[in-house]
Structure 1
Amino acid sequence: MTRILVVDDDRQLLRALRIGLTAGGYEVALAHDGATGLAAAGHAPPDLMIVDLGLPDMDGVVLVEAVRGWSTAPIVVLSARHTEQAKIHALDAGADDYVTKPFGMGEFLARIRAALRRAVPAEEQPVIVTEAFTVDLAAKRVTNAAGEVRLTPTEWHLLEVLARNPDRLVTQRQLLQEVWGPRYETETNYLRVHLANLRRKLEPDPARPRHLRTEPGIGYRFTP
């Protein structure tokens, strides 16, 4: 079932959207602010997001930019802001459509269907093979020439996020938000410690990593 995450602080609207989207055959998850929405998107990536711009803890455009940094899922902005500049700003940030409030549920559902049709699913390899080790994303298992490599849950989560974005830069902030949550987005020392442990377990030469690479001051990149 197609999963839709709705991020809006209007509880009455959330109820209406949950009813309308559920009736349309979608699985619906709700978040009342940006931090909760970002954590929910990282924990269980949705097939489509609906984002309000007037969130209590951040501008919705910030949330769109954060999610678009690692996800290709369609994002539909739902906002009371009617100005052309607001629409341009949201679309330039990575939104796929912009719907102004108030709106008709029938048209809104049609826009959701259109956004999902336009979406090109990212090709994801369930098994990623490198020269040194193999990552089985479906089985949540890492092996090398000696057999299975034992990873802690945190180490696996970090590796999984990076492996699902091969050859793409994943920022420190994105990793911290996805693995530990939005409250930890400045704790870069967490990343240094756990990435060092991953390299010791997976890289033939941890001092010169070939697969778990650092982009100094920015983030990390997984190179198969």
Structure 2
Amino acid sequence: MISYHPESSWLRAFAAGELPPSLALAVSVHVELCPVCQRHLAALEAELASLALTEPALEPELEAPGGPDWDAMLAAIMATPQGVGKPSAQACPPLQVDWQASAIALPRAMRHLVVPEWQQVGKVARARLDIAASQHERTSLLSIAPGAVIPEHTHKGYELTLLLAGDMTDAEGTYRAGDFLLLDRRHEHSPSTHAGCLCLTVLDAPVHFTRGLPRLLNGFSGLLY
């Protein structure tokens, strides 16, 4: 059962097309997995559509049909083979990643992505995704091995984590597939996983370790997100 969701303001911004691509991807994946947010999003979309219909619109100036350009366009439309433009069931097969010796199909919202080679650091593997983003934003898949504990840290910016498989626990609770977590510099935690987890993450600044020897890594912060 999904217990952690994006705030209503995020869903409204998503419905209005106002989120940047990386954050829109995370919200889209969560909504795909979460019946509660599907209903909430549908209500927000209906509300926004109603507002759009009630606002006065400027009437576009239409040119009268006719002329060589009009005739050429009609001829091109009539010559288009039937069925062109209809999505094929095989056109976009599920995107799969190898995780814990199994192939896991990622949500439909992620099928257009290309997953590069994984970079392994201890019990954490990362695949950086190529998504249009701001200069400092990073979007990745993270695979964390069973039994791993991430050293206690906070964040210089925000850290969005969407669980795709497995489990993760910190002082605030236990998270499972579909849970949507948004942390910032106000939060300090040391997440762990019993069964391992696969996550979609978006960060706009490096993590900052706050205890023990991992603090020595803060000098290499550019590598930590």
Q: TM-score, normalised by structure 1?
A: 0.27
Q: TM-score, normalised by structure 2?
A: 0.27
Greater Rg over alpha carbons, structure = 2
| Greater relative contact order (Cα < 8 A, sep 6+) | 2
